[in-house]
């Protein structure tokens, strides 16, 4: 699977998610709403896989597997979470 840089992930979230959210909020037909929700699910799955592939690539390059490297990676993906705030 193709690895994606953080800017690409941000672009997908910033561009596609709001469009899908807006479509879902305004859709009255249950069948069309289900299709939109499935598209949202596909987008989330795609993002999850790309982020996992990116994380694996970064982890394999370090070879240290240190907890600090892992924390830095999560902090970059989940801005605003500081150490000890993950629940």
65-82 pLDDT, tens per residue? 555 555 555 555 544 444
Total Cβ atoms within 10 A of residue 21:
12
Domain ranges of the chain: 6-77
- Round to whole Å and give the CA distance between 61 and 35: 39
Question: Would the pLDDT of 39 be above 60?
Answer: yes
The answer to whether 47 touches 13, Cβ cutoff 8 Å, is: yes
Q: Above 80 in pLDDT, residue 12?
A: no
CA pair distance 5, 54, nearest whole angstrom: 8
Is the pTM value of this prediction over 0.75?
no
């Amino acid at each position: 699977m193709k690895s994606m840089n953080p800017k690409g992930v941000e672009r997908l979230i910033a561009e596609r998610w709001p469009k899908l959210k807006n479509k879902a909020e305004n859709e009255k037909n249950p069948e069309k709403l289900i299709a939109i929700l499935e598209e949202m699910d596909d987008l989330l799955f795609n993002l999850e896989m790309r982020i996992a592939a990116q994380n694996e690539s970064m982890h394999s390059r370090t070879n240290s597997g240190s907890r600090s490297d892992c924390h830095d990676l999560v902090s970059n993906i989940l801005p605003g979470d500081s150490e000890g705030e993950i629940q």
